[in-house]
Amino acid sequence: MLGELVAGAAEGLVLVEDTVDCEGRSLLQSFVAAAACRGECVHVFGFEVSEEEFRGCLDPRAAPHRVQYHDSFHDPLGWSGVGLEALGAQESWFQGLRGTPGGAVTVVVDSLSWILLRQPSPAVCQALAGARVQRMLVLLHADLHPPGLLGVLRSLARVVVALASTSQGLGVGRGSLHLASVFQRMRAGKVVTKKEYYTLQPGFPPMSVEEPRGPMSPPRDDDTMAHPGTWLTFDPRAQLTFNPGVSVEQRQVRDAMPLPFHFSPCKKLSVLDQGGQIYYEPDPGDDLDDEDPDDDLDV
């Protein structure tokens, strides 16, 4: 996934978070190199390293004029007093950001931490959100900022790449293995997260590598522990003296049986009364007499 992002799938604000253990400038340089190879216009705002050092890792065969470097490393406070640089690095960054043409332009900020430590964060975030460029790549040193600010920047960004070093000890230098946690916000509101290991050669896109299985890595747990609770696998039928099962014919007969409160029409007919007749059969002790005993009274 990291390779695809470098190859151009990343859009909007891309946040690369690095730490003291694992630096992210080389990833930034590979992004720039890939963008320059694709023929896009790249504007780099450099605050922490000089232009030569940044360009040193770029492929000299790629057209260098496509990568435009705004240097604020040599004169951050604008003491030389020439034009835009007279404002100082931070204000010139805001101006430069507003001045970049929109469209298929990649803006790289190396690094955003430098600006955030000197400018109020709401203004910086508003400037980041207001930039109308296709891709904006910022490097952030995650160790330098409080977690609240990191959370805010992550919520603003479309893609977040958090870098960490691996403790495998597979050699130092550019070829070593790093872990990248990529979080990407897709168009339709979906969110994709992925963790992958990668190695980086200078000037080339990162190569993702599968997780290394060193001698210190934890064993795979294919052999699961035996279930301590066995009540779910307990088979009660083994202990019974009768057969609780239902055969297919018995089930059919049972389904065909009418239920007590489901009235079929013939059952309704038999149950509901047809008229108002009372049928009475006299008991042996009954004395049925048609005469009215009140007639005997002499009133």
Partner 1 sequence: MAALATGGATRRGIAPSFRRAGEPGLAALPGTRPSLRRGQLLLSSGVPSLDAVLGGGLAVGTLLLIEEDKYGIYSNLLFKYFLAEGIVSGHHLFVASAKEDPADILKELPAPLLDDIYKNEVNEEETVFKSKESQDYMKIAWRYQNLPKMEASPAASSRFGHYYDVSKTLSPELLQSTKWHRFFLPEEISLQPNINICNMTSGYTRLLQSIQRIIYQEGFDGSHPQKKQKNILRIGIQNLGSVLWGEDICCTDNPEDIHSLTKFLYILRSLLRMSLSACIITVPAHLIQNKAIMERVTNLSDTVVGLESFIGSERETNPLYKDYHGLIHIHQIPQLNSLICDVSDTKDLAFRLKRKLFTIERLHLPPDLSDTVSRSSKQDLAESAKLLSSGCGAMAMGKKHLDF
Contacts of residue 135, Cβ cutoff 8 Å, sequence gap at least 6: 10, 11, 12, 14, 35, 105, 106, 107
Q: Tally DSSP H helices, then E strands, for the chain.
A: 9, 9
Q: Which of 7, 86, 144, 149 touches partner 1 by CB under 8 A?
A: 149
CB of 120 to partner 1, least distance (A): 7
DSSP labels, 5-46: IIIII--EEEEEEE-SSS--HHHHHHHHHHHHHTT-EEEEEE
Q: Which of 37, 152, 164, 179 touches partner 1 by CB under 8 A?
A: 152
Nearer to partner 1, 255 or 290 (CB): 255
Nearer to partner 1, 259 or 288 (CB): 259
CB of 229 to partner 1, least distance (A): 5
**Which tokens in the block code for residue 282?**
């006299």
Does residue 261 touch partner 1 according to CB under 8 A? yes
Q: Which of 60, 218, 245, 282 touches partner 1 by CB under 8 A?
A: 245
**Which tokens in the block code for residue 22?**
């694992």
Does residue 237 touch partner 1 according to CB under 8 A? yes
Does residue 155 touch partner 1 according to CB under 8 A? yes
Does residue 282 touch partner 1 according to CB under 8 A? no
Contacts of residue 137, Cβ cutoff 8 Å, sequence gap at least 6: 10, 14, 16, 28, 31, 106, 107, 108, 109
Q: Which residues pair with 197 in a beta bridge?
A: 179, 209
Does residue 231 touch partner 1 according to CB under 8 A? yes
127-146 residues in contact with partner 1 (CB under 8 A) are 129-130, 146
Can you list the alpha helix ranges (DSSP code H) found in 182-286?
Answer: 248-256, 265-271
CB 159 within 8 A of CB 5: yes
Does residue 255 touch partner 1 according to CB under 8 A? yes
Does residue 99 touch partner 1 according to CB under 8 A? no
Does residue 193 touch partner 1 according to CB under 8 A? yes
Nearer to partner 1, 23 or 196 (CB): 196
CB of 280 to partner 1, least distance (A): 33
Q: Which of 102, 260, 275, 293 touches partner 1 by CB under 8 A?
A: 260
Residues 133 and 103: their CA atoms lie apart, in Å, by 6
Size of the site for partner 1 (CB under 8 A): 35
Does residue 218 touch partner 1 according to CB under 8 A? no
Does residue 268 touch partner 1 according to CB under 8 A? no
Residues 234 and 196: their CA atoms lie apart, in Å, by 43
Does residue 276 touch partner 1 according to CB under 8 A? no
109-128 residues in contact with partner 1 (CB under 8 A) are 120-123, 125-126
- Specify the residue for token string 């001698």: 215
CB of 10 to partner 1, least distance (A): 18
Residues 140 and 110: their CA atoms lie apart, in Å, by 8
CA 266 to chain centre: 62
**Which tokens in the block code for residue 5?**
């992002």
> Which residue ranges make up the site for partner 1 (CB under 8 A)?
120-123, 125-126, 129-130, 146, 148-149, 151-152, 155-156, 185, 189, 191, 193, 227-229, 231-232, 235-237, 244-246, 255, 259-262
